[in-house]
Chain A
Amino acid sequence: MAETIEKNVTENAASEKVLKVSNLSISFGGLKAVDDLSFSIDRGQIYGLIGPNGAGKTTVFNCITQFYKPDEGSILFTAKDGRTHELTRLPAHKVIRLGLVRTFQNTEIIRELSVLDNLLLGAHSQFTSGVVSDMFRMPWARRQEKAMRAQALEVLEYIGLQRLAEESAAAQPYGVLKLIEFGRTLLCNPSLIILDEPAAGLNESETQTLMALIRGVSRDYHCSALVVEHDMRLVMGICDRICAISFGRMLAEGVTSYIQQHPAVQDAYLGKEEA
């Protein structure tokens, strides 16, 4: 057991890191939500972040995507062009341009728009036409819109929703909304997708579809994924490595099989005798 872990560590060190979080801390009104957390994700890796309710998982996400500004620590992100950026220096809306994109726990789908338009929203950072050329529908703006539309349709086909393209997003069931939100992340040419409880509220077969999709993107879109999830089967089924946290602190970090058997993780989930 120990040997395999050792081996994995060296392998990781050799491969390229896409995200490197070090000594991340943030507190809200004196309460430390995240406390000195460090972990890193390799390119192409599916990484899981687990922990009991209120452990600070979503807060970690919000820090990485710059919705919250961490009190301390650094978050280094290496884009596809090989350049490394310190995310904490960027406003929230600029993060996606580097290829880092997220979903939300309760799905943030724009109900007023069609399914296809919701996907196109994910491509927003790829558009270069300005407001005036949009208003006058200049040839280059039209060309770009057409190309993006084709790409969005491709993604819809990939996630198996092409027949819903022109339907209103408001009319879709929750499982479909989750898929739309997942598909939306694929349109920004991502290198890391952050998924906040992607399987929450999904039934068994929907979860299976989602697992296959997440596994597939690292292969088909050459990107990594960071997953927060309560569904242990999903986490254990798709993640290459896992970081377990509790009360904002790291409990354990390592390959999936190692975390599965880690006593501290089991304690945090099942509760100690005296707790």
Chain B
Amino acid sequence: MAAFFQNIVGGIETGSMYALAAMGLVLIYQTAKLNNFSQGTLGMFNAFFCTSLFRAGVPLLVAILLALVFALILGALIDTVVISGIKNISALGRQMITLGLIMVFQGLAPMLYGTNPFSFSKMISASALDLWGVKVLPNSFLIIGLTCALMLGLYFFLERSNWGLAVRVTAANPMTAKLMGVPIRRVTMGAWGVATALGCLSALMVAPITNINVSMMENIHLNSFIASVLGGFQTFYGPVIGAFIIGVANNLIGYYISSKWSLAILYAFILLFIVIRPNGLFGKKTINKV
């Protein structure tokens, strides 16, 4: 039984990283109607930035905060300069620009920070606590706690605040939102900023496990996409729940069925699920009007 819970706690921890990234994806998707393929790469780049500050003698906490602010600005800047700022481009073209961004930042990272990976220590290095046989690192508590706090914060922001309303209106219908005086350019800019910061946080959480290198976010990035589809892209909470499901299910399948094939089995199940429910767990069916 302890093993079961051990797997669940571990799953929630990795799920947290997926959830942060998935939240970033869905924020941009909902407001700007595009898939940001560069989210993982941007997270990686910002993680490099954070460690370089830390190595230059900035205290870790300050370095992290500075990196988050940097990510926020970088995201907003990207939206203004290369995404929303341009006209006469198809939706697909816009998404391909995010692909170009991957190349840009995968080129910039080794140029600025060299080709060797950076190591990154856990924020709390204390040893594991034993809770009724389940061993949990304090750092895992931090990751899970921080993620849950952020998700709750975002939820209340979206549901209760004026700006949250602007985001939801833009998500529902950008055209109407624009006509009703919602500053959608600022909304998408903010979405890009927050999403990039979330991606950065996700990267910093996984950094102690993978080290900071160019491909560190591949796994999280991929799973955050799949989580978004599993949960349903039309809601803000669906992808987050999808992320936790993927984290936990992967661990459980890996432990009880096959560690070698766990991801393949999980993806196969999700694929089957999507075919049966084409809009994910929480997505609503869209009616095609003739």
Contacts and interface: CB of A to CB of B under 8 A. Distances in A.
Majority secondary structure, B binding face: loop
Interface in B235-290: 290
Contacts of A67: 290
A258 interface: no
Contacts of B290: 58, 62, 67-68, 104
A246 B290 CA distance: 20
Contacts of A62: 290
B203 to A, nearest CB: 41
Interface residues of A, number: 5
Nearest to B287: A28
B288 to A, nearest CB: 9
B155 to A, nearest CB: 29
B251 to A, nearest CB: 42
Nearest to B290: A67
Interface in A89-110: 104
B93 to A, nearest CB: 16
B152 to A, nearest CB: 34
Contacts, number: 5
A58 B290 CA distance: 9
A62 B290 CA distance: 8
Interface in A34-74: 58, 62, 67-68
Contacts of A68: 290
A67 B289 CA distance: 9
Nearest to A105: B290
Nearest to A62: B290
A104 B290 CA distance: 8
A68 B290 CA distance: 9
A258 B290 CA distance: 32
A181 to B, nearest CB: 15
Interface string A160-185: 00000000000000000000000000
B149 to A, nearest CB: 39
A104 B289 CA distance: 12
A62 B289 CA distance: 10
Contacts of A104: 290
Interface string B157-195: 000000000000000000000000000000000000000
A79 to B, nearest CB: 23
A223 B32 CA distance: 48
Nearest to A196: B290
A93 to B, nearest CB: 13
A10 B285 CA distance: 48
Nearest to A28: B287
A13 B258 CA distance: 72
A194 to B, nearest CB: 12
Contacts of A58: 290
B88 to A, nearest CB: 14
A225 to B, nearest CB: 20
Nearest to B288: A67
A68 B287 CA distance: 11
A67 B290 CA distance: 7
B153 to A, nearest CB: 36
Interface string A76-87: 000000000000
A130 to B, nearest CB: 28
B289 to A, nearest CB: 10
A180 B290 CA distance: 19
A67 B287 CA distance: 12
A249 B149 CA distance: 56
A15 B290 CA distance: 33
A103 B276 CA distance: 33
Interface string B1-29: 00000000000000000000000000000
A85 B290 CA distance: 23
A196 to B, nearest CB: 10
A58 B289 CA distance: 11
Of all A-B residue pairs in the complex, the 5 with the closest CB atoms, nearest first, are A67-B290, A62-B290, A68-B290, A104-B290, A58-B290
5 contacts: A58-B290, A62-B290, A67-B290, A68-B290, A104-B290
Interface of A: 58, 62, 67-68, 104
